Amino acid sequence: MRNDSKIVYRDGLKGVVCDWAGTAVDFGSLSPVSAFEEAFKDFGFEITRDEIRRFMGMYKKDHTREILRFTRERFKEQFGYDPKEETVETIYSKFEPSLLNCVRKYSKPIRGVVEFSREVRKMGLKLGSTTGYTEEMMKIVVEEARAHGYCPDYWAVPTARIPGRPHPFMIYENVIELQIYPMSAIVKIGDTVSDIQEAHNAGCWSIGVVVSGNELGLSEEEMETADPAVLKSKIKNGYKTLKDAGAHYVIDGIWDALPIIEEIDQRIRAGEQP
């Protein structure tokens, strides 16, 4: 006998999975940009910050590959050949030590993240995380963030076994390690299109972050001196970009996230799914 009844999950939110750079630490997501600029310059091929930020949030070797794909015509015009996998490896070999040299400087928690982590735990939620950084990079980031009061329950990195964003596997790893389910009871918070795609592919809720992250791409000091009209326009565009990518909610920064978390919890208890 066929049973077409559907079980509706109503037990509320179980966990939050946060991105790192631009969401939880490194206001403006500055460290990867600086390292990519240096690595490509050392190779003899200069790229723009917009070209770097276009693929932010990905595993950094994939990020290198995508920048070269996007700039292929200009690269071929300069060097006389298409970028190859050997080119990716050469530039990435310059990028990784450059990032390792500067990542500690940019690992201070963004305002509100320590308080946010404290409050979600009071709600009984697990706090996981995903990143585009390697394990070696993350050991530095986690150590520095912990010294300033921020320490998620788990962090996953992309590997040969677990591909990075936009694939959902790092979120799945968090779910397994933290023993939380179903996917519709998880929220992913991140500042890039690939973060939102990761959440969508995993089947969980998503919150996009604009002001502290990649879409704005400014330090707090740069924000203070920026032209207000230009700043307003960039923030508006950032909201649109993440919303168009499929984010369920878009906010300025993690300091605005707690009311959204509570709203999603209520929506789940009402029987809604992502």
Active site residues per annotation: 19, 60
Question: What is the CB-side half-sphere exposure of residue 260 using CA atoms within 13 A?
Answer: 22
3-state secondary structure of 193: helix
Burial 42-79, CB ≥16 within 10 A → b, else e: ebebebeeebbbebbbbbbbbbbbbbbeebeeebeeee
Which residue type, as a one-letter code, is found at position 188? K
CB 200 within 8 A of CB 184: no
Which residue type, as a one-letter code, is found at position 153? D
To the nearest 10°, report the CA torsion of 172, 173, 179, 180.
-30
